[in-house]
A = this chain, B = another copy of it.
């Protein structure tokens, strides 16, 4: 700090039309205070899509586009129904109607990332602490302790049960009526999930993320793109790393997304977990799963691969993790810079809350920084994505060749002892392929890293295949 540094001027205060508070999971009243942001938020119900899409009632099925996914996920819910992502407005609905939920028993933790669930966590947490969660108490403050307690309490409960709890929590608009047992509606991600209702400052609210990032801070992964973590490490504080207190605004502009766009475990054998205790690289995450045991005992796995009987891991949308390995993160470019670019309206600029593919908005999302024509930026992204795609197809062929080879030796009587090293290779191969194919940028978020991970997948698949042939059991 020096003499030149003037006090930062604060934002001009907004005209509050209505009051919003910690129970306001309905975005509508917020929208009256912030009409431009709200209008753009509502547009997430629009479903224009880029090349890898179309226009459908439900988004296109990834299983149909890439039939090898069915073999990859054999025996797991993802092999029944797995689609492309679409706008935030759909998140709750798409979860309710997926066959993964309608045909399979899922855990309450699923709602952690698909509903505006924090007030419900708080309510249940307060109840557990013996406090009466009146609407006034619920509305008063964030109460992280209660939120965490509620989260722990419901994570492993049944999906339907937790969904019903959502409807028992006031949402800031609905009033309980005689015939309607609801206290509130269930909402997809909403203002209160990312904003402090008093100051409008962005914040993170998701217990899974708060725990995950605190674990990450204690790791020795370098993380140059998250300087506040390095500062916390240097301070040798006794308090866990708290993003809401310590992160810079630019970091927060990615953390709000990192609440959900991350790899997780989310089923009924253990609380929702983000595997970040060793770092954010693909190998770091794998290492945590390798070191994890279920509370009830037994080594961690996501599913038993049906064709081969191997216990394997499932990777889900590691956008935050892959972005962390890329040049944009390194250059301080946040998720919001590209996915929520500033727009002009009249005499002011605002963040577009129409969170979507930046390729539908190249002008604002990219051209402020990259002064090249739209067509050129599109071409650059195409090259990166096509290269990733080619390597992914190659990895998929290797994976299916591996499965065929394993199946054959199993038919010919391979013993468990013989299979063990092969299963280990299979697990690594499948995790790596799934990691990049379930990441939604088709390699853009970190192009070289994406192709590196796929190269490793190929290596392990082919090694497993070779090892199976070597058993000499044809």
Interface of A with B (CB < 8 Å)? Answer: 224, 327, 330-331, 372, 379-380, 383-384, 387-388, 390-391, 394, 398, 405, 443, 447-452, 454-456, 458-459, 462-463, 465-466, 469-470, 472, 474
Contact = CB atoms under 8 A, between A and B. Distances in A.
Nearest to A325: B383
B469 A398 contact: no
11 contacts: A331-B372, A384-B448, A387-B449, A391-B452, A394-B456, A451-B452, A452-B455, A455-B455, A455-B458, A462-B463, A469-B469
A74 to B, nearest CB: 22
A405 B470 CA distance: 10
A459 B466 CA distance: 12
- Max chain B C-beta neighbours (<10 A), residue from A372, A390, A465: A465
Nearest to A462: B462
B398 A459 contact: yes
A450 B443 CA distance: 15
Nearest to A397: B459
A350 to B, nearest CB: 28
A394 B448 contact: no
B462 A466 contact: yes
Nearest to A459: B458
Contacts of A474: 470, 472
A374 B51 CA distance: 38
Contacts of A388: 448
A379 B330 CA distance: 10
Nearest to A469: B469
A437 to B, nearest CB: 15
A391 B466 contact: no
A372 B452 CA distance: 26
Contacts of A459: 394, 398, 458, 462
Contacts of A380: 327, 330
A448 B450 CA distance: 8
Contacts of A391: 452, 455
Contacts of A466: 405, 462, 465-466, 469
Given A387-B448, A447-B448, A458-B462, 13 more contacts: A331-B372, A387-B449, A391-B452, A394-B459, A398-B459, A405-B466, A451-B455, A459-B462, A462-B465, A462-B466, A465-B466, A469-B470, A472-B474
Nearest to A458: B459
A394 B224 contact: no
A451 B330 CA distance: 20
A394 B383 CA distance: 25
A454 to B, nearest CB: 6
Contacts of A452: 387, 390-391, 451, 455
Nearest to A402: B466
Nearest to A390: B452
Query: Which 3 pairs across A and B sit closest by C-beta, in order of nearness?
Result: A462-B462, A455-B455, A469-B469
A295 B7 CA distance: 65
Contacts of A472: 472, 474
Nearest to A446: B448
A411 to B, nearest CB: 16
A439 to B, nearest CB: 15
- Max chain B C-beta neighbours (<10 A), residue from A390, A458, A463, A466: A466
A387 B391 CA distance: 16
